[in-house]
Amino acid sequence: MNQHEKRFQDLILRFSQELTEEGRSKIEAKLWKEFGTERVVFVLDMSGFSMLTRKYGIIHYLSMVRRMQLTTEPIVKTYNGSMIKFDADNCFAVFPDTLSAIHAAIALQLAFKSSNLLTSDEFDIRISCGIDYGRIFIVGNQDCFGDAVNRACKLGEDVATAGEILVTQEAMNTVQDQSGFKLREMNISVSGIDIPAYAIDYQIE
């Protein structure tokens, strides 16, 4: 754990141990000042983990995860994204704006569709993406927390199917010109959370 992470964890612990509302408010203010930011959160999930692992074994799937990582990171960076972490078959990244995140998601979908032409079916990589915008904590450029992170995860992991890109209404509201996108409106409810969102039609045939 580096000093940045340790500082965050210490403040989080002090918050739960603080007995007064005023004291907790001061700690919360410190946390947001030191670690808080507004970003677009991007979460990628590989589809079919359980089925592929049971059918072909964990080594087979881990080899696909590694290929996903090697393809994903340079594309994220090309669209001005910052990598946060790879976690199992997920990728977490943040972007300065929603448009960049959407373009990265489309580029990734197209990249994997193209690479799948060169592999046998059992090695094809299919992904789903969730995108949200909001105020979050970024800790040591290695982890992130916040409602926007949770909602992007829900969209990318729990709701989106292979090939889908789902973007929250809050994130789309930050895109001034939406005329370049064909959007399908969705009303999503996951774990008791209602998430107005859109599916991006990026015309893969």
Per-residue confidence (pLDDT) for residue 125, from 0 to 100 = 95
List, in sequence order, every beta strand (DSSP E) within 69-159.
82-87, 90-95, 127-139, 143-145
Domain boundaries, the chain: 39-201
Give the pTM.
0.93
Q: For domain 39-201, give the fold.
A: Alpha-Beta Plaits (3.30.70)
- The beta strand positions in the chain, using DSSP E, are 36-46, 82-87, 90-95, 127-139, 143-145, 165-168, 182-190, 193-201
CA-based torsion, 139, 147, 33, 97: positive or negative: positive
Q: What pLDDT is recorded for position 204?
A: 54
Give the Cα separation of 144 and 8 in Å (integer).
11
Mean pLDDT, 10 residues at a time, the chain of 205 residues: 91 96 97 97 90 84 94 98 96 97 97 93 94 97 96 95 96 88 90 91 71
Q: How far is CA 23 from the centre of its chain?
A: 33
